[in-house]
Amino acid sequence: MSLLQLRDVAVTYRAASGEVPAVRGVSLALPAGQALGVAGESGSGKSTLAMALLRLLPRDARVTGEILLDGEDVLGMKWGRLRAVRWASASVVFQGAQHALNPVRRIGEQIAEPLLVHGMATAAEARRKAGELLEHVGLPAWRARGYPHELSGGQRQRVMIAMALACSPRLIVADEPTTALDVMIQAQVLALIRSLIAEHDIGLIMISHDLSVLASMCDRLAVMYAGRVVESGPSREVFQSARHPYSRALSEAFPTVGDPASRMAPKGLGGDPPDPAHLPAGCSFHPRCPVSLPSCASRDVELWPVDESRGEADSPNAHTAACVHVRPEGVQPAEGGGDHDGPAVQPAEEVR
Burial annotation 50-79 (CB, 10 A radius, 16+ → b, else e)? bbbbbbebeeebebebebbbeeeebeebee
What pLDDT score does 51 carry? Answer: 94
DSSP state of 275: P
What pLDDT score does 343 carry? Answer: 35
CA distance 319 to 311: 9
Instruction: Name the band, by pLDDT with cuts 50, 70 and 90, for residue 141.
Output: very high
What pLDDT score does 13 carry? Answer: 96
Phi, psi of 321, deg, nearest 5: -150, 145
CA distance 105 to 204: 28
Instruction: Name the band, by pLDDT with cuts 50, 70 and 90, for residue 336.
Output: very low
What pLDDT score does 346 carry? Answer: 37
What pLDDT score does 349 carry? Answer: 36
What pLDDT score does 219 carry? Answer: 93
Phi, psi of 221, deg, nearest 5: -125, 145
Q: Is the pLDDT of residue 43 over 60?
A: yes
10 vs 349, residue with greater confidence: 10
Burial annotation 217-251 (CB, 10 A radius, 16+ → b, else e)? bbbbbbbbbbbbbbbbbbbebbbeebbbbbbbbbb
Q: Is the pLDDT of residue 37 over 90?
A: yes
CB contact set of 333 (below 8 Å; sequence gap of 6+): 302, 339
What domains appear along the chain, each with residue ranges and CATH number?
Answer: 4-224 (3.40.50.300)
Q: State pLDDT tens for residues 241-295.
A: 999 999 999 888 766 656 666 555 555 467 788 999 999 999 999 999 989 899 8
What pLDDT score does 63 carry? Answer: 97
pTM given for the model: 0.85
Q: State pLDDT tens for residues 114-136.
A: 999 999 999 999 999 999 999 98
DSSP 105-129: S-HHHHHHHHHHHTT-S-HHHHHHH
Residue 227 is which amino acid? G
Nearest to 104 by CA among 59, 149, 45, 44: 149
Q: Is the pLDDT of residue 150 over 60?
A: yes
Mean pLDDT of the chain: 85
What pLDDT score does 352 carry? Answer: 33
What pLDDT score does 310 carry? Answer: 56
% of the chain residues with pLDDT over 70:
85
Helix, strand, or coil here: 157? helix
CA distance 235 to 219: 6
What pLDDT score does 348 carry? Answer: 36
% of the chain residues with pLDDT over 90:
57
